[in-house]
Amino acid sequence: MTKEFEALLLSKTEAGQNAAWSRLTEADLMEGDVTVRVTHSTINYKDGLAITGKAPVVRRWPMIPGIDFAGIVESSTHPEFKPGDEAVLNGWGTGETHFGGYSQYARVKGDWLVPLAPGLTRAEAMAVGTAGYTAMLAVLALEAHDVAPPKGPVLVTGAAGGVGSIAIALFSKLGYKVIASTGRPAEEGYLRSLGASEIIARQELASPGKPLGRERWAGAIDAAGSHTLANALAQTKYGGAVAACGLAQGMDLPMSVAPFILRGVTLAGIDSVMAPKAKRLQAWSRLAQDLDRQKLAAITQTRSWKDVLELAPQILEGKVRGRIVLEVQ
């Protein structure tokens, strides 16, 4: 008997984009050598864009959105996974070109999966999600460019969002002084509870600035792009580095080469979608080691996966704080 399950299906109509909960069978799943029973997912900014259609994230129709999931392997012909194994997926085009995590079952390539890191639960892995995994990749990039606590503070933009929240918690645990940039002044208490020692207004960085500003931080993680990234670079200390991982303000980068050729600043690009497996395993190992589990719990709310249609516009409007775990029933 063919197994039936539920999934959120995005389809394109003459009137635009439609999202509907649908009954599917295993025969509807896409190619792959591992089938996973999904138990948890989450919502990222990119998921919000896909579900609302605000940006052309989805490139194959129809599509099951959801760029993250955690679950239990149901069947596998991949040598690294066997039935009963706990596994996590981030990226690899799921929710864009391959059916994603807003489904009770997912069939994917085993090379896209990583084993659940020892010490983490599946729910915690989705509390981390692509946002937290991206934050860890950015921390690793700054460490690789010798950004260390003795060299000065670090800046985190979009601080109350998913990437920003986990970046602050990580930096704090690692001994850095953290400057948090946010457009939500009411979140100051929240950001300080994560470990931020200074809060600056988003507008301080979001407007056109000078080619070079006062040297203020040794490194930065930026989720905004545009003028925010330009100003972060312009105010980075000599020999520092900035990790760029988002475009909440825009895809443009209106700046000069001055920070690069006069201060030796490095701009490190962070791509979480196609990151090689070795880097993924390193990031997840470090997350299990360096992320304060109590802080993770404090920034996480748990919701039913059926709430994702309500949450999608909220995350785009900046109304979602921290991380959301979606329980897939």
In the chain, where are the structural domains located? Answer: 4-116+299-327, 130-269
Domain covering 4-116+299-327 in this structure, CATH number = 3.90.180.10
pLDDT computed for residue 3 by the predictor: 85
pLDDT computed for residue 27 by the predictor: 95
pLDDT computed for residue 13 by the predictor: 85
Q: Do 130-269 and 4-116+299-327 have the same topology in CATH?
A: no
Convert the chain into a string of H (helix), E (strand) and C (coil).
CCCEEEEEEEEEECCEEEEEEEEEEHHHCCCCCEEEEEEEEECCHHHHHHHHCCCCCCCCCCECCCCEEEEEEEEECCCCCCCCCEEEEECCCECCCECCCCECEEEECHHHEEECCCCCCHHHHHHHHHHHHHHHHHHHHHHHCCCCHHHCCEEECCCCCHHHHHHHHHHHHCCCCEEEEECCHHHHHHHHHHCEEEEEECHHHHCCCCCCCCCCEEEEEECCEHHHHHHHHHCEEEEEEEEECCCCCECCCCCCCHHHHHCCCEEEECCCCCCCHHHHHHHHHHHHHHCCHHHHHHCEEEEEHHHHHHHHHHHHCCCCCCEEEEECC
pLDDT computed for residue 94 by the predictor: 97
Whether the Cβ atoms of residue 237 and residue 146 lie closer than 8 Å to each other: no
Give residue-wise pLDDT tens across range 58-92.
999 999 999 999 999 999 999 999 999 999 999 99
Give residue-wise pLDDT tens across range 202-257.
999 999 999 999 999 999 999 999 999 999 999 999 999 999 999 999 999 999 99
Q: Specify the pTM.
A: 0.93
Domain covering 130-269 in this structure, CATH number = 3.40.50.720
